[in-house]
Amino acid sequence: MPLIRSRSLLAALALLAAALAAPAGAAPEKHPKATKVLAKAKAKASAKKTAKAKPAAALAPDAEAVNFSAWSAVQQFEEEMVAKHGFNRAELDTLFGQARLLETAVQLVKPAPPGKPKNWQLYSSRFIEPIRINAGVRFWNENAGLLARAEQIYGVPAEILVGIIGVETVFGRDTGKFRVIDTLTTLAFAYPEAPNRVARMAFFRGELENTLLLAQHAGIDPFSLLGSFAGAVGLPQFMPGSILKWGVDFDNDGRVDLRGSVADAIGSVANFLVVHGWKREDTGPAVFAAQVAPSRDWESLLGKGLTPHYRPDELSAAGVNTAVTLPPGRLYGLVDLQNGADATEYWVASDNFYAITNYNRSYFYAMSVIDLGRAVRLTRGN
């Protein structure tokens, strides 16, 4: 199946130059540039179909000036940016002196309290609701041609693309108003105590590096880039590194723009899913409702990660049954969706379900994408 052609890092960054330009009125206060090349990007407005521009927000109420540039870990990071990428050390000092610590980001990434029961129905109700469904119908109607083209090129059904963008940002309504530099600096160097703290700090440190590289090559003030509390950007909420790796110029205007271009957002989501295992030849449902036997032999099939492992006959032998016959020659997994004190739901999941979990490593998330896309399709009447 056709995929975006590989590009060198510099070429990909060049395509992103206009994508990262801030909307009008981006930051209410001035900030020094990260490098000498950082100046306001000059990009001719394209005639492509774009999402409605979002105004920049002021600093978050809990943004705290802590002078990150005095932190030893930040100084080490600055040294690495100088050695690896040729950044100016004094300018990085100034930049991190202007970055703010966001307590909101710290609180939102904390793990759920121990013992709190998972509740799929409660989680799902946040996404499968009339406002989001009706917005999805409008989005699909307005972008039917783009969705059909993405489905034809990548083999990902339109309803899955609609489901992801709807779950992520309500079709561009909520793309995030935090300064990405603030969120990523906070999470790279002030991540809360957690079992995976070291790994998560390393991840956000890498995304901070990607953000500075994007800003450098795009010629923009890095403080002008806005996103979620975790640094995700645009309609599909891609992290900066994901924009570089999987962003697609789907409207062929010479740049990847995930904040302003609906076309690029749709193409990029489809490309991401294909790269992460979506099987276009598997045209059936991504999940099948399952019944499990009282013997509970099937319990050994649970908790096997985010890849399928079992043939249909192995599922059946363990006491897992579906109302329809599973297509042979493929592997499946058993998914449990817990409902607090109520009965757990069980589903048999295909490769395509697990491809969605690469977008967000959660069974709840993947099922919400599937259910929202289906609800929008049925409401739309096709």
The CA distance from 123 to 104, in Å, is: 21
178 in Cβ contact with 105 (< 8 Å): yes
Residue 179, strand partner residues:
226
Nearest to 147 by CA among 135, 129, 160: 160
Nearest to 278 by CA among 353, 175, 341, 195: 353
Which tokens hold the place of 322? 């579906």
Nearest to 267 by CA among 236, 241, 304: 236
The CA distance from 173 to 166, in Å, is: 9
- Whether 168 sits among the annotated catalytic residues: the reply is yes
List the end-to-end C-alpha distance of the chain, in Å, as a whole number. 25
Which is the catalytic residue, given 78, 151, 159, 168?
A: 168
Q: Tell me which DSSP letter residue 21 carries.
A: P
266 in Cβ contact with 165 (< 8 Å): yes
The CA distance from 39 to 235, in Å, is: 25
The count of C-alpha atoms lying within 13 angstroms of the C-alpha of 15, restricted to the half-sphere facing its C-beta, is 23
The CA distance from 366 to 372, in Å, is: 10
Residue 309: helix, strand or coil by DSSP? coil
CA 78 from chain centre, in angstroms, equals 27
Residues belonging to the active site: 168
